């Protein structure tokens, strides 16, 4: 049997993992043998998610640690707890993200702008700095950070969010160049509209949903499960020669991006 997608012996740290895309990716990584620490701000939701995944896979491989991704000291605690619980980190999934403002950028407050950039960009910069030494010691590793197809175009309502997600791709490409000689791969995941609570305003409206689907060759919106295969692929040796990429999950709606 091929071990191309086997994550046995790998320690994975996921942020933004109590629900939606993060939860779905966590399940897939655990099913393929990874030992996981999952994180978000609310411990109750994390515990529920960890219990659910552990029940599905039939063993305790997922552990919850609460942390606010926008606070450096809490991320330091998260990384240290991950090492204590599961060992040195082989795989990082930076999935935590926020969008506190919906509307034109001319109306956004400084607080909302700073929160968006801090959580979506700076927190991932911090996490990469924190976990890279583990990966160097382990002889390599994989980092994936959630961006968005919003990075590829302007938006009249999600402008700051789009800017932050374009910055994520820039971060990924620079880190891929910097960490490549250490066999650490860094890639961006760019989902289109995925049917999660986070994106509910974009799909929980029949008119908007139909307009979006009309532009998608596969004829449907994305589901959290559509991210599972890519997460396992990027975490495993199957993607050993792939780094610095912005990988789009869009049903064909954003070809050639």
Helix axes of 110-117 and 159-179: crossing angle, nearest 10 degrees? 30
Q: Is 161 among the catalytic positions? A: yes
> Which are the contacts of 55, defined by CB distance < 8 A and separation ≥ 6?
none
Name which of 151, 184, 153, 150 is nearest 170 in CA terms.
Answer: 151
CA distance 173 to 162: 17
Q: Which residues of 102-133 are buried (b: 16+ CB within 10 A; e: fewer)?
A: eeeeeebeeebbebbbbbbbbbbbbbbebbbe
Catalytic residue among 102, 161, 241, 254: 161
**Could you give the residue numbers annotated as active site?**
161
């Amino acid at each position: 049997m091929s071990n191309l997608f086997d994550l046995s012996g790998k320690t994975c740290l996921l942020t933004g993992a109590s629900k939606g895309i993060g939860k779905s990716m966590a399940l897939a990584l655990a099913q393929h043998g990874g030992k996981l620490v999952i994180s978000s701000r609310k411990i109750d939701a994390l515990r529920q998610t960890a219990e659910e995944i552990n029940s599905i896979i039939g063993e305790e491989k997922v552990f919850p640690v609460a942390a606010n991704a926008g606070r450096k000291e809490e991320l330091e605690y998260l990384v240290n707890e991950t090492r204590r619980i599961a060992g040195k980190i082989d795989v990082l999934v930076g999935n935590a993200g926020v969008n506190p403002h919906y509307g034109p950028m001319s109306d956004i407050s400084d607080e909302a702008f700073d929160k968006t950039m801090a959580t979506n960009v700076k927190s991932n910069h911090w996490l990469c700095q924190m976990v890279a030494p583990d990966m160097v010691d382990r002889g390599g590793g994989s980092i994936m950070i959630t961006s968005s197809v919003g990075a590829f175009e302007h938006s009249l309502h999600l402008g700051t969010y789009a800017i932050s997600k374009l910055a994520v791709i820039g971060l990924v490409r620079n880190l891929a160049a910097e960490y490549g000689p250490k066999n650490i791969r860094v890639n961006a995941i760019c989902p289109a509209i995925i049917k999660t609570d986070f994106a509910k305003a974009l799909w929980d409206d029949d008119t908007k949903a139909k307009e979006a689907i009309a532009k998608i060759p596969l004829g449907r919106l994305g589901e959290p499960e559509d991210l599972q295969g890519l997460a396992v692929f990027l975490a495993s040796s199957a993607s050993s020669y792939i780094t610095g990429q912005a990988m789009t999950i869009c049903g064909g709606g954003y070809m050639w991006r």
